[in-house]
Every structure is written in structure tokens, then in C-alpha cells.
A and B are shown apart, each in its own frame.
Chain A
């Protein structure tokens, strides 16, 4: 099976702009979760989608949003970018059933200048 794919891999944006990141889960997986990784805060949960519905949400401001499509692909959007949004954004794919494990993509490295 193909793994989790994330596009783009690298992105440079300016403060105030918005950005959309994309994630394609493993075929057959219905759950997609997003995480932010920074040196200072570590790995933090953003949100999780299952069958096009947001099932869980972390403690991030409303500038961070996401959605999931009927083919399970997911997008994450960040509006009004701030310097502190510079991070590695990781997407994880899960079966959503009883196996519990999640498989991560390579991440999108976002730099805000």
C-alpha cells in the first residue's frame, strides 16, 4: 500500500497570508489527524477528521481549520499567518477502528517570514 502523502513538502509564506496543506491517507483509512511540531512546543494535536466530520479538536485558535473530502483526503488551512506558525505540519492516517495505530506522512515544513 502507498503511504501517507503530504503536499507540498516545503512552503514559505509571509505574515498575514493564508496557506492550505494537503494530506492523502493510506487507501482504506477513514481517519486523518493533523499535528504541529515545533522545537519549543513539541508535537501538538490540531484536529482529527473521520468520514468527513471533525471528531476531535486541539487547543489552537480558529485561524487553524480543516476539512475532509469523501475520498478521505484532507486539507488544513491556516489564515492570517503569524511567525509562530512556522513548524512542521504532520498528517496521520488511521483505520478509525480497533487497531488504534496511526501512520504519519513526511510532513509539510512551513516557514513564515
Chain B
């Protein structure tokens, strides 16, 4: 079955340090991959997407992610963490053209240490 795995349900980093949130997928067909962020009591905000164009994708708020087919990974990074980055992050995948269904990972809660 096609799936998404996020390694680490909680990640803590110091303000100004590198943020690395991990996502691996399992798929027999080329996937479309997304990262979403959720702040408390809010919906999901799209950070970035990979849809088979450039493998290094830049998103909003200084985040970027790299699609690595050989590692079946799509890890999210940010060079320097800011207090406002504290939130829950979800990796998601869709597999079929014209099929809007997203399969989400279990989420990673990011805490920023002052």
C-alpha cells in the first residue's frame, strides 16, 4: 500500500538552528508530495509541493525540501529556526492525476527553544 512516514513525532531545535523534519514515502508510481503546517486551532497551510519538476523545492517562510527518489524521501529543512516556526508539520502524498486525495503522515510537532 502507498503510504507516508514521518520520523519523529516531536522535534525540538534552538532558535537560529537548522530545522530538519523527515518524510519518507512508499509508492509504486511517481508521487506528488506536499508539506503542510498547522498552527493551533487553525487549518492546514501549504508550505511547498513537489510535482515532478525541480527536485529541490522552495516554499514559504524560508522552508525548502528535496525530493530524493533513491531514498524515497522528501525531508523539510530551514537553515535558521524562528520562534514563529513552532507548529505541527504534515507531509502528504497524492498519487493519481485528477485524484485529489491526500494521504498524510502522522505529523511532527516542532518546538523552538529560545
Chain A interface residues toward B at CB < 8 A: 4, 6, 31, 33, 35, 42-43, 45, 48, 50, 55-56, 58, 90, 92, 94, 96, 98-107
What A residues does B92 contact at CB under 8 A?
43
What A residues does B103 contact at CB under 8 A?
45
- Asked if B101 and A100 make an inter-chain contact with CB atoms under 8 angstroms apart, the answer reads no
Q: What size tier do the contact residues of chain B reach?
A: 20 to 34
Chain B interface residues toward A at CB < 8 A: 32, 34, 36, 42-46, 49, 51, 90, 92, 94, 97-107
Partner of B100 from the list A33, A43, A90 (CB cut-off 8 Å) is A33
What A residues does B90 contact at CB under 8 A?
43
- Asked if B45 and A100 make an inter-chain contact with CB atoms under 8 angstroms apart, the answer reads no
Whole-angstrom CA separation of A100 from B49 in the bound complex: 9
Partner of A105 from the list B43, B46, B99 (CB cut-off 8 Å) is B43
Partner of B99 from the list A56, A104, A107 (CB cut-off 8 Å) is A56
- Asked if A102 and B104 make an inter-chain contact with CB atoms under 8 angstroms apart, the answer reads no
* Contact of A104 with B101 at beta-carbon distance under 8 Å, contacts A42-B106, A42-B107, A43-B90 already known: no
Whole-angstrom CA separation of A13 from B61 in the bound complex: 38
What B residues does A50 contact at CB under 8 A?
100
Whole-angstrom CA separation of A103 from B32 in the bound complex: 15
Q: How far is the CB of A5 from chain B (nearest CB, A)?
A: 11
